[in-house]
Structure 1
């Protein structure tokens, strides 16, 4: 099937937005939350490699995107749970991500897709739960936007809002990352 006109620019723009938001979030959370900063940096690396000419379909880049999903996203949620005293959930999310990262070679493309979407939704729901109980508005928006990205990726349609579905998911992920970065700062101000 031939690509639709305008698809390349929207894809590049969505990767660029996700990379820029994640880089800003990594730099601004480095002093507050090193785990979340590392998760944001994994998103930056995955988005950057997908923008590199000729590497977007390379298997190593796709593996990098897989690792950014199953390790980077749990790292984002790790400190949020840890600071709120929910160490078991923090360790469970991170441990589950590590197991999925190692098991990724044994899963087929559909298995990796389902596992990545499940990880995204689990991270989103756990962030949302903690944010609701701590009244962290940015955390609630971050959790909702991450959940939207996960749910949109499960839709059968190829295009949403006149854009490729994957691009819309990246925009939602970028918005969720920005909100989650603000949530971490709000959370740290509450604990000071």
Structure 2
């Protein structure tokens, strides 16, 4: 059996890191916030599915990643906004994600890619704004990491930091998920 090339190991490790971080965050936030836990769980399931399916690009895996982006990330932002009393932004983000999830079947792959990147950036910016006004340092780091993942995915380069661009984006998303998990915990402590 031939050894796996570095790019396959890199892809597997980035999917595994995102799945583990997101699953851990889902389990620990389930008691306090079911919405955020569902968002983390969608991310974990999408990453685990890609890992288990052999990192392929079949339609089921891509659909799972699409749902994790357009519904899972708005669920994370929903809780962050809701707890701070910004219910209109929370509902708008979640409603927009639901509309995109339904409309995804009518978009081509480029349209889905652009819409997914837009969702990532909108969620990152809105959480970053709330985190700045509430002085939630973890929220600021989470917003920065998620924003970095969204911006890096738009670059034309195939490799960043000697790794495939998609892997770097997943590592940034995993770091952002960990920071959001901590931000939600910090936020809950402030409100108790």
* TM-score interval, normalised by the smaller of the two chains: over 0.9
Residue in 1 that maps onto 2:48:
48
Q: Distance in 2 between matches of 1:127 and 1:66?
A: 20
Residue in 1 that maps onto 2:30:
30
Residue in 2 that maps onto 1:113:
113
Q: Distance in 1 between matches of 2:6 and 2:30?
A: 36
Q: Distance in 1 between matches of 2:54 and 2:152?
A: 27
Residue in 1 that maps onto 2:98:
98
Residue in 1 that maps onto 2:58:
58
Q: Distance in 1 between matches of 2:41 and 2:188?
A: 20
* 1:20 correspondence with 2:56: no
Superposed CA offset, 1:23-77 (max 9, x none)? 1100111111110000000001100110114463220111010000000000011
Q: Distance in 1 between matches of 2:149 and 2:83?
A: 25
Contact (CA 8 Å) 1:49, 1:56: kept in 2 or not?
no
Residue in 1 that maps onto 2:39:
39
TM-score, normalised with respect to structure 2: 0.96
Residue in 2 that maps onto 1:154:
154
Q: Distance in 2 between matches of 1:114 and 1:155?
A: 12
5+ residue gaps in structure 1? none
TM-score, normalised with respect to structure 1: 0.96
4+ aligned runs moved over 3 Å, structure 1: none
Superposed CA offset, 1:126-151 (max 9, x none)? 00000000000000000000000000
Q: Distance in 2 between matches of 1:157 and 1:57?
A: 20
May I ask how many residue pairs the two structures share in their alignment?
Answer: 189
Superposed CA offset, 1:95-118 (max 9, x none)? 000000000011000000000000
Superposed CA offset, 1:166-188 (max 9, x none)? 00000000000000000000000
Please give the secondary structure, in 2, of the residue aligned with 1:85: coil
Q: Distance in 2 between matches of 1:123 and 1:78?
A: 9
Contact (CA 8 Å) 2:39, 2:73: kept in 1 or not?
yes
Q: Distance in 2 between matches of 1:140 and 1:87?
A: 20
Residue in 2 that maps onto 1:76:
76
